[in-house]
C-alpha cells in the first residue's frame, strides 16, 4: 500500500499494519500501549529493571526466561507477582530482569524493523520528545490498541491520547494523522485521568479492581525514561 505520510517527518498509525507501513520510512518507531505495557516498561526501567518483551515468536517462555536469567511476569495481573499491572512494577529492584508477555505492546516491539524502537506513554512523553528533538529523525508513532476476539484491532482512546501527548512536544513536519492526534490531546476539556478512567479500557480495569493502574498510567511527564529496545530488551536511555 502506498504510504501517503511519506513526505512528513512525524507520522502516526495504528497496530501491526501501521507498524509495517511506517517502519519502511522511519528512523525511529515509538510503540504506545498505555494500558498497560508501555506504562509497565516505564516504571520498571525507572526502578533499574530490564524488560524483555515476549510473544509467541520467542518460543517457549520458560526456556526464554532460563536463557536470559529473567523472571516471567504474569500476563493476567495476578496479585503477588510481576504482571501487566503497572502497580506490580513498582516493586522491581535495580538489575531485575523481567519477561513481560503482551499481545499488543510486546508483539509490536518485537516486530518493529526500525533501527531504533522506543516504548512511549503519558509518563515519559516529554522525555521522549526531548530525545527526539536532539536529532533530525523520521518518526513513526504507533498506537497499539487492543484486540477483539477475532484478532482485529480495537482502537483505544488512551493510546491515541498518549500519541498526541508525545506528538505535541516533537519538532518537525507532522502528517495530518499525527496533527489530529496532537489537536485531540491539546483540546481535551477534562483531565486525562478522568477521560481514560471512563473509557472502555479504564472501566474494564476498574471492574477488575485495577483502577490504580489507570491512575499510574495517567501521571503525565513524571518520568525521565526513554525506553529503547536493544537486542530484544528495553533499557533506560541507551543511545
- Mean pLDDT, residues 115-138: 97
Give the pLDDT confidence score for residue 145 in this predicted structure.
96
Q: Per residue in 29-60, pLDDT tens?
A: 999 999 999 999 999 999 999 999 999 888 99
What three-state secondary structure class fits 98? strand
**Domain assignment of residue 215, given as a range:** 10-236
- Does residue 146 form part of some domain? yes
pLDDT at 73 over 70: yes
Q: Which helix (H) or strand (E) covers residue 228, if one does? A: strand 227-230
Start-to-end CA distance of the chain, whole Å, equals 32
Asked if the structure places residue 111 within a domain, the reply is yes
Q: Is residue 193 part of a domain?
A: yes
Q: Confirm whether 148 is domain-assigned.
A: yes
Check whether 239 has a pLDDT greater than 80: no
Contact, 18 vs 178, CB < 8 A?
A: no
Residues 89, 102: Cα–Cα separation, whole Å: 15
Express each pLDDT in 10-30 by its tens digit. Answer: 999 999 999 999 998 999 999
Task: Give dist(CA 222, CA 65) in Å, integer.
Answer: 30
Is 170 within a domain? yes
Interval 74-113: pLDDT, tens: 887 776 789 999 999 999 999 999 999 998 999 999 999 8
Nearest to 234 by CA among 33, 40, 71, 74: 40
Residue 3 included in any domain = no
Tally of domains within the chain: 1
Q: What angle do CA 163, 169, 174 make, to 5 degrees?
A: 70
For residue 2, is it within any domain? Answer: no
pLDDT above 90 for 192: yes
With cell 516533537, the residue in question is: 170
Residue 99's CATH number: 3.90.1560.10
Residue 62 lies in a domain: yes
Amino acid at each position: 500500500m502506498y504510504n501517503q505520510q511519506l513526505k512528513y517527518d512525524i507520522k502516526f498509525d495504528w497496530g501491526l499494519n501501521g507498524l509495517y507501513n511506517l517502519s519502511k520510512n522511519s528512523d525511529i518507531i515509538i510503540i504506545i500501549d498505555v494500558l498497560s505495557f508501555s506504562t509497565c516498561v516505564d516504571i520498571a526501567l525507572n526502578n533499574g529493571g530490564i524488560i524483555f518483551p515476549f510473544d509467541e515468536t520467542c518460543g517457549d517462555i520458560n526456556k526464554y526466561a532460563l536463557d536470559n536469567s529473567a523472571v516471567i511476569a504474569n500476563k493476567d495481573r495476578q496479585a503477588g507477582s510481576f504482571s501487566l499491572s503497572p502497580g506490580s512494577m513498582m516493586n522491581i529492584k535495580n538489575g531485575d530482569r523481567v519477561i513481560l508477555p503482551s499481545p499488543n505492546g510486546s508483539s509490536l516491539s518485537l516486530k518493529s524493523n526500525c533501527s531504533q524502537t522506543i516504548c512511549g506513554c503519558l509518563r515519559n512523553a516529554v522525555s521522549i520528545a526531548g530525545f527526539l528533538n536532539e536529532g533530525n529523525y523520521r518518526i513513526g508513532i504507533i498506537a497499539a490498541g487492543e484486540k477483539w476476539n477475532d484478532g482485529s484491532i480495537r482502537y483505544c482512546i488512551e493510546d491515541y491520547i498518549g500519541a498526541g501527548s508525545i506528538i505535541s512536544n516533537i519538532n518537525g513536519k507532522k502528517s495530518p494523522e499525527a496533527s489530529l492526534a496532537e489537536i485531540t490531546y491539546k483540546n481535551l476539556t477534562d483531565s486525562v485521568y478522568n477521560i481514560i478512567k471512563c473509557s472502555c479500557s479504564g472501566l474494564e480495569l476498574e471492574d477488575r479492581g485495577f483502577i490504580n493502574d489507570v491512575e499510574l498510567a495517567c501521571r503525565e511527564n513524571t518520568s525521565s525514561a526513554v525506553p529503547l529496545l536493544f537486542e530484544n530488551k528495553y533499557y533506560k536511555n541507551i543511545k
